[in-house]
Amino acid sequence: MKPLNATDPQRIGPYALAGRLGSGGMGEVYLGRSAGGRTVAVKVVRPDLAQDPPFRERFKREVVAARRVSGAFTAPVVDADVDAEIPWMATAFVVGLSLQSVVAAHGPLPEDTLRMLTAGLAEALLSVHGAKVIHRDLKPANVLLALDGPHMIDFGIARATDGTALTSTGAVIGSAPYMSPEQAVGQHLSAASDVFSLGSTIAFAAGGAGPFGDGVAAAVLFRVVHTEPDLSYVPPRLRPLIERCLAKDPSARPTPRDVIAYAERSERPDGGGAGVRPTTGWLPGPVAADVLALRAVLTSLPEPAPTIPLPDGADAPAGRAPDGTTEVLPHTPAEPLPGGTGGADGPGRRRLLLGLAGGALAAATGGGVWALIRKDSDKDPSGGASGKGSGSTPRPDGKEVPEAGLAWQLDLPAACGQVLSANGVVACVSLSQVFGVDGGGERIWTVEAQDHDLAFASTGTMPRVVAGVDGGRLHVGGTAVPTLSGTEVRDGGAAVLGVRMSDGGQPAVAALTETGSLGVASFCGVRDGRAHLFTMAGQDGKGGGVWALDLASRRTAWFHPGETETLFSAVPRPGESMLYSGRSRVVGLDGEGKTVWKKEITATLAAAGRYAFLHGTGGDLTAVEPGTGREAWKTEGAVGASARGGGVASDTGGAVVFVLLRDGDDGFALAALDSATGEAKWRKPVPAGAAKAGARLLHSDGNVYLMGADCVVWALDASKGAFRWKYSGWKGKDPMDLAWDAGDGRLCLSAPRTRTVATLYANGA
């Protein structure tokens, strides 16, 4: 980090700096905190521009105008010193993800969210235009989706740089796919230009692409000026509004107030509704989970020293959130960064914020593959209410199966995205903490991620495998938090924290260095003292792949750069390393992390005994040799894994694999197959609807556990398939919202959204 102050290179004004977030044509943006703990984004002007008097005057006028922009859906300026040797300003910090990244990860937004997004951005424009500022660069990258609504950032940047060395004569400032026609041809702009950009932004959110296509800027600008937009993917009730926003004639476009009124009228088919102001429930569940994960990371960043004083006579920064909880992503420059990367989503911000969020976006990507994998099973009914199973065996209704009771249930202070049971302890993993719970349901230890300069790879309220147990120790994957060392920023990266399972003691951190990874995305498994983890790529596209970590020495055994998306994995017997798969390819690695075979197939993965198992979209379960990929045997009609995995379970020795198979009556049966031959040892029809959302299976303590689509859990005798007990206490929940684990004589369930963890004894007592 370049020193900003001769006496304290880690401060500017009243703010201690915790690292650089990004850079652009105007200067650098840093994460800053005041002595009172307020988090801001501090924008520091480039030294050469600081010596340009005309620029300083324009920057000063821009700050004055930006201070007046204080709407609910903007990121206002809260502090500035335009007369300093190096001018700077600080903007509010709100936790959110850019619309561009959300659509890339989760796909187009649903209609209700689109309607509230439209109203929120229009309300933001009211504030911007009321301050006599024209945004000029409203686009998906400059819209943040937060829990309390959308937030518009980077307003007024083009105005601040007009006429300086940053622009050439006649240059057009903005982003081609979202410019208005008058902006594209360099005409005088009015507030209506921003309304056009709003329409293009909403169209992108509805369809995942701009309404004028993509390609080179000149071609896109030609279409903006001369052709009509493609709005076929915009919901019918919103389409007339977006058509008006995209009118070529600025005078024909609605005002922001008109946009808000239309969005409110279209809330219901009959035109009624009580308004569309976003609330904490306005985002789709997976997006909200990503934002919650990001918020937990940012609030766990190290606090600056509490003794940093404000300058003599300075007032506390204005605009502090009343409850102290509203933070916003940094206001970063819109100009391209060196190398052509856009400043609004530049590598610095992406590295710190998305990297620290652990697997949040990786999990979202996995949802796209889940859609591919489940497409075949979606064609099949979930099972009749009173049909027969295979042959003439009646399908059970489960009424005669005894009901088990909970051993204990506990409310935690944080969402537990993964639960593990071993060595007499239940470990509950959240984004910033791991809790150890004893057999009686009492919390006996807590490990804080920030105490080890880490953020765990948990994804907030989304269940996710980020940890594993080996040799009496718990190992949790995460991201090393970037920290300051002297005047330089020490980058973060993939890391694993190991602690003793019994008491959380003997902590030890292992880090993946020299690959440029952002952090651990998920924990694949442990085999023979070696953990295998998926890592996320860094700013240069490198560092994503498979990391094999020797747990005893805490040293990297090998690193394999991913050849496809790293989404599913299997860790077979020692010496044959592992397999991983993405959207359409399976890759087999040897014991040194080298590729030994590939298959072009969409499949989830599992392993047991001598074989790995590929579970394809057509329902085929194929056993293959891990070292060669050669097929050993195949079973048809296997039910695909749920979005949380569990399509195949195996006994402790790997001799038997348990799968759900489709029955002749369109119901399902649980089967135990010899892992070496595929021969069925037993087959048991299960109650109707048990596989509606895909298979979720576990094996432990002589039981096979099946989670139904209604969250009823069934325990069957692993040796012969007889029902032992069921648990209906969480019936009605969504199984995709639950994490679970079995072992050490217990079945553990976690509901991250309600921060609830519960256990049952393996015998159902």
381 in the same domain as 282: no
Residue pair 147/279 in contact by the 8 Å Cβ criterion: no
Domain count, the chain: 2
pLDDT at 475: 96
Residue found under tokens 């009823």? 712
Active site residue 137: yes
Residue pair 715/422 in contact by the 8 Å Cβ criterion: no
The more confident residue out of 456 and 743 is 743
pLDDT at 65: 67
- The residue from 288, 312, 327 where one domain ends is 288
CA distance 97 to 94: 10
Residue found under tokens 């600056």? 304
User: ∠ CA(387), CA(391), CA(395), 5° rounding?
Assistant: 35
CA atoms within 13 A on the CB side of 401: 22
Domain that holds residue 678: 373-402+637-765
Residue pair 319/454 in contact by the 8 Å Cβ criterion: no
The one-letter amino acid code at 163 reads G
pLDDT at 575: 63
395 in the same domain as 281: no
**Each residue's pLDDT tens digit, 133-153:** 788 889 998 898 988 889 887
The more confident residue out of 662 and 71 is 662
151 in the same domain as 255: yes
Task: Give me the phi and psi of 197, to 5 degrees please.
Answer: -65, -35
Overall average pLDDT of the 744-750 stretch: 95
CA distance 184 to 142: 19
Q: Is 339 exposed, middle or buried (0-12, 13-18, 19+ CB in 10 A)?
A: exposed
Asked if the model's pLDDT at residue 319 lies above 80, the reply is: no
Residue 690: inside a domain, yes or no? yes
235 in the same domain as 115: yes
- What tokens were used for 32? 């800053």
281 in the same domain as 135: yes
**Each residue's pLDDT tens digit, 100-138:** 888 988 889 999 899 999 999 999 898 888 877 788 889
The more confident residue out of 67 and 322 is 67
According to the per-residue pLDDT averaged within each range, which of 255-259, 367-371, 615-619 is highest?
255-259
- What tokens were used for 30? 């840093």
Work out the widest C-alpha separation in the chain, in whole angstroms: 90
> What is the length of the chain?
765
Residue 22: inside a domain, yes or no? no
Q: Is 26 exposed, middle or buried (0-12, 13-18, 19+ CB in 10 A)?
A: buried
CATH number at residue 387: 2.40.128.630
Q: Which of 48, 79, 112, 137 is catalytic?
A: 137
Residue 520: inside a domain, yes or no? no
Pairing of strands 143-146, 97-98: antiparallel
CA distance 293 to 358: 8
229 in the same domain as 113: yes
- The residue from 230, 256, 288 where one domain ends is 288
Q: Where are the alpha helices (DSSP H) in 300-359?
A: 347-349, 355-356
pLDDT at 325: 25
CATH number at residue 274: 1.10.510.10
CA distance 123 to 257: 8
Q: What is the mean pLDDT of the chain?
A: 77
Residue 163: inside a domain, yes or no? no
Residue 35: inside a domain, yes or no? no
pLDDT confidence band for 681 (50 / 70 / 90): very high
Residue 611: inside a domain, yes or no? no
Residue found under tokens 């279209």? 266
Of 157, 153, 200, the residue nearest 181 (C-alpha): 200
Model pTM score: 0.56
243 in the same domain as 145: yes
Residue 682: inside a domain, yes or no? yes
CA-based R_g, the chain, Å: 28
- The residue from 264, 288, 312 where one domain ends is 288
Residue 748: inside a domain, yes or no? yes
pLDDT confidence band for 721 (50 / 70 / 90): very high
Overall average pLDDT of the 49-72 stretch: 76
- 43 labelled binding-site residue: yes
